[in-house]
Chains A and B, each alone.
Chain A
């Protein structure tokens, strides 16, 4: 008696070599797609976790809009006369290729006068709504380390503000109206350290206030007004290490408000 295979019985389909290759190819393609999308999504983490707290160039939109609107071309970097603008690296997630300012290293001192970076931006990520340095909001200065501030101690300052090897540039209008020079080429001799006030490019953004009414008391406190645009010149010039005065980004101002309330 021979067994006749019933028609219902599913024949185990054997794939030809060609079909097997194709199946492998499709699986591979799916996997490659998943890897590419995952890799692109990795960039979300540093942004959402706010791993970096970057000062953005003048005219920058609020952080999330800024990251969206920036096309990562670096035209702002190219026009800056003091090269204050740097581009973010891969560790910054979607901040890759996005411009930021490291004020301590090189602040935006408005040497260009007319917010060149804003004019250079092809997308409006640096908003074209501003046209003067007073309208800029990069962040706001804060006396973060009052105990190390020389003025707060009533001390003067003599020598190179940031040492002789410091590469940072600053425009000294009394020396050359058009060309910024190295801070290292411009030593100071001050009876009372007022570098942050002296070199501030914005009028009435910062002033020194005596700590007491006593005439014999040389101690002064730097007071930052609402005119401060957060350009970071004070942070760059501050001779203490680390800087007594720092710039808070909009994000960190928000966070501090949150922590207080």
Chain B
């Protein structure tokens, strides 16, 4: 993979628009494959396949349910640990002890250190542990496999899509660079004001604490965010705003676990992009957008697996980097 193309994929996480690979970025194999796919016989063949997909839709929820189980299990562990005093995971999503080992949310820990202007050892250990775990799963896997807000937002998204299909609401996109600006503004605020200002509006902390310690008025803010997502902008917080997502995205840029895209299986009908939280990472699945015949999708991916479930051709799959070389 060319370095330039990789940097482009990285830049997308910081708000850059998805684009076609340039002639010098595209591999010869990819060029040949695209040319082959554009031949009249192949075009006819592809249309047939797509028509078949439409006539006999295959619905798979394998990864979605695995993921929901993961989110629920992780959060229930927190709830149960306190409610029944079993001391499995003590604390909340912002910081905890898992069987005694420190865990800390990197974004929260950074804010605390910026606000307090001291490096706290336990917090650093917890942050590094958490970074290592989510680095392994890659992208911002935390979001879709652990974040309690993500699950609520997924349900809100279902309502949004239901309403949108009937034309009652419309999705209003935002610039993805907003998240980067907010990240720096909130870290700056922590440093300048000496308070963890973002934690005041962080729905992840609010939801997590509400689940464990009981509801608070702060939950109203989360309700407000969810109603924005239902009525105004699909997945607003996770797509365009959450600084935690950006931190995790950066942590997971070069991860062992990846989503692999295989150009030869793809019929470019766009099922994957329709379900994706971060569709810009799947722009390579558009006709003529792939850089190589096989490539990993961009680091902003949350490894949610919705595209893997959605693809009727099996062109997208979870993979462990380097596994094919080992076996």
A residues in contact (CB < 8 Å) with B = 25-26, 28-29, 32-33, 36-37, 39-44, 47, 64-65, 67-75, 77-79, 87, 89-91, 93-94, 96-97, 120, 122-124
Contact = CB atoms under 8 A, between A and B. Distances in A.
Given A96-B200, A97-B199, A78 B178 contact: no
A75 B97 contact: yes
Report whether over half of chain B's contact residues are helix, strand or loop; otherwise say mixed.
Answer: helix
Interface residues of B, number: 56
Contacts of B198: 40
A57 B65 CA distance: 41
B8 to A, nearest CB: 20
Contacts, number: 156
B218 A28 contact: no
A124 B197 contact: no
A25 B173 contact: yes
Contact of A91 (B96, B177, B217): B217
B241 A90 contact: no
Contacts of B109: 71
27 contacts: A28-B174, A29-B175, A33-B178, A37-B182, A37-B185, A39-B200, A44-B197, A68-B116, A69-B116, A69-B118, A71-B109, A72-B92, A72-B199, A74-B92, A75-B90, A75-B95, A77-B213, A78-B90, A78-B91, A89-B216, A90-B200, A90-B221, A93-B200, A94-B197, A96-B199, A120-B97, A122-B126
B93 to A, nearest CB: 8
Nearest to B85: A78
Contact of A32 (B82, B92, B241): B241
Nearest to A47: B195
Nearest to A86: B213
A94 B213 contact: no
Given A68-B115, A93-B200, A97-B205, A44 B178 contact: no
Given A28-B174, A122-B123, A122-B126, A36 B182 contact: yes
Interface string B220-253: 1100000000000000100011000000000000
Contact of A68 (B112, B178, B205): B112
Contacts of B185: 33, 37
Contacts of B221: 39, 90
Contacts of A94: 195-197, 199-200
Contacts of A89: 216-218
Interface stretch (B25-33, B186-194, B284-292, B309-317): B186-194
Nearest to A43: B200
B84 to A, nearest CB: 11
Given A25-B175, A40-B189, A75-B90, A69 B197 contact: no
A119 B205 CA distance: 22
Contact of A71 (B81, B104, B206): B104
B209 interface: yes
A218 to B, nearest CB: 45
Residue picked from B82, B197, B241, most chain A C-beta under 10 Å: B197
A73 B206 CA distance: 10
B102 A41 contact: no
B52 interface: no
A41 B196 CA distance: 10
B92 A64 contact: no
Nearest to B219: A90
A28 B175 CA distance: 9
Residue picked from A32, A41, A122, most chain B C-beta under 10 Å: A122
A41 B213 CA distance: 25
A64 B200 CA distance: 15
Nearest to B114: A68
A72 B209 contact: yes
Q: 9 closest Cβ contacts across the A-B interface?
A: A90-B218, A43-B200, A68-B115, A73-B95, A73-B91, A29-B175, A69-B116, A68-B116, A94-B195
A216 B288 CA distance: 102
B193 A44 contact: yes
B304 to A, nearest CB: 23
B199 A28 contact: no
A36 B225 CA distance: 10
Interface in B130-177: 172-175, 177
A87 B178 contact: no
A2 B154 CA distance: 63
A75 B212 CA distance: 11
A71 B112 CA distance: 6
B201 A39 contact: yes
Nearest to A61: B116
Residue picked from B112, B196, B200, B220, most chain A C-beta under 10 Å: B200
